[in-house]
């Protein structure tokens, strides 16, 4: 089961509990499921019990107990636990790499709508509101109400002239809207210390791997023989990250995820192509398909943020 499957399963469990009279109130259209924080229980958690407790006329813990019973026997869910006042925590059975690549790739190929007309002139507000609008449109939600956005500090001067559009967009979108973004010359450096560079470089490397494979006479072919648990874990979270970014109107969540995904791909890249006298195998083709899928996700994520994703660096 993928995390996106889990989100749908939770909504289904709520719906059936309401239909069967175990719970009252309305069934939410969406349920936020997020990766458990360090030190937490299980792999994923949701506060859905708090979301529907009032309408159900029950305490969140009681709602959680109803849902835990229904979700405990669902295929793909290894364990359901209740923590705190009613948080549902899940451990999932592993999902195949082939399934994950097939499921995630279409979600990343998103036509990003143009920013709304009449945008504010202040660059921070312009970038943030445009990114939020794109993310909401991609998830089929919104537009939501206005929210406060801290402007660029006056001390930073004309940041667009100094750093360029993409670097400024990255700096302001990786900072929560209520906080003042910080700028440094690291934004101008093409090196490991520059997160935007790493994301773009990982995207370019995915394209380079496909080009190099073509020169060696093979192409991507979806399969399970990839042995990339760290990369698959981050890739599996992509749909949930998009949902959370839209729900919280927080493009910084997507930006952080892209950095994590890029770093995982850069660690994995050395195992994609044959080495030395090796001949291309099914494993190489499957790893190439995974790398190509990650590149597509990175491109889609950058597009949602309004940032260019070059295929060569």
Query: Does residue 110 have a pLDDT over 60?
Result: no
Half-sphere exposure of residue 148: CA atoms within 13 angstroms, side-chain side? 4
Helix, coil or strand: residue 155: helix
Residues facing residue 45 across a β-bridge: 34, 89
Q: Say what the pTM is.
A: 0.84
Q: Which tens digits make up the pLDDT trace of 39-64?
A: 788 999 999 999 999 988 999 999 99
% of the chain with per-residue pLDDT over 70:
94
Rounded to the nearest 10 degrees, the angle between the axes of helix 251-268 and helix 282-305 is 150
pLDDT score of 35 more than 50: yes
Q: What fold characterizes domain 95-313?
A: Isoleucyl-tRNA Synthetase; Domain 1 (1.10.730)
State the fold for domain 3-92: Gyrase A; domain 2 (3.30.1360)
Across the chain, mean pLDDT equals 90
Residue 257 burial by Cβ neighbours in a 10 Å radius (0-12, 13-18, 19+): buried
Distance CA 13, CA 69 (A): 10
Listed by start position, the domains of the chain span 3-92, 95-313
User: DSSP labels for 158-178?
Assistant: -HHHHH-HHHHHHHHHSS-TT
Encode pLDDT of 234-292 as tens digits.
999 998 899 889 988 999 999 999 999 999 999 999 999 999 999 999 999 999 999 99
What's the rounded Cα separation, in Å, for the pair 52 and 14? 9
CA dist 89 and 142 (Å) reads 28
Read off the pLDDT band of 89 (50, 70, 90).
very high
With bands split at pLDDT 50, 70 and 90, how would you rate the model's confidence at 305?
very high
pLDDT given for residue 112 in this prediction: 47
């Amino acid at each position: 089961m993928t995390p996106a499957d889990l989100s749908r399963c939770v909504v289904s469990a709520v719906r059936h509990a309401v239909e069967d009279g175990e719970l009252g109130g309305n069934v939410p259209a969406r349920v936020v499921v997020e990766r458990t924080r360090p030190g937490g229980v299980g792999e994923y958690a949701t506060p859905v019990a708090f979301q529907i407790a009032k309408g159900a006329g029950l305490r969140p813990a009681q709602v959680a107990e109803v849902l835990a019973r229904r979700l405990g026997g669902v295929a793909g869910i290894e364990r359901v636990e209740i923590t705190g006042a009613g948080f549902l925590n899940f451990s999932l059975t592993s999902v195949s790499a082939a399934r994950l690549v097939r499921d995630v790739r279409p979600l990343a190929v998103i036509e990003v709508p143009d920013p709304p007309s009449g945008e504010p002139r202040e660059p921070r507000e312009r970038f943030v509101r445009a990114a939020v609008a794109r993310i909401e449109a991609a998830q089929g939600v919104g537009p939501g109400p206005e929210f406060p956005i801290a402007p660029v500090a006056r001390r930073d001067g004309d940041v667009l002239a100094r750093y360029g559009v993409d670097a400024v967009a990255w700096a302001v979108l990786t900072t929560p809207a209520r906080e003042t973004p910080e700028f440094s010359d690291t934004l101008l450096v093409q090196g490991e210390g520059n997160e935007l560079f790493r994301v773009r470089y990982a995207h370019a490397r995915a394209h380079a791997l496909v080009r190099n494979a073509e020169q060696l006479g093979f192409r991507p072919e979806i399969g399970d023989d990839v042995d990339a648990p760290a990369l698959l874990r981050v890739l599996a979270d992509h749909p949930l990250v998009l949902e959370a970014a839209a729900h919280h109107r927080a493009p910084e969540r997507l930006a952080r995820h892209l950095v994590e995904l890029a770093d995982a791909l850069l660690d994995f890249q050395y195992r994609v192509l044959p080495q030395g006298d090796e001949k291309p195998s099914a494993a190489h083709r499957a790893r190439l398909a995974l790398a190509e899928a990650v590149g597509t996700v990175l491109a889609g994520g950058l597009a949602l943020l309004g940032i260019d994703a070059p295929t060569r660096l």
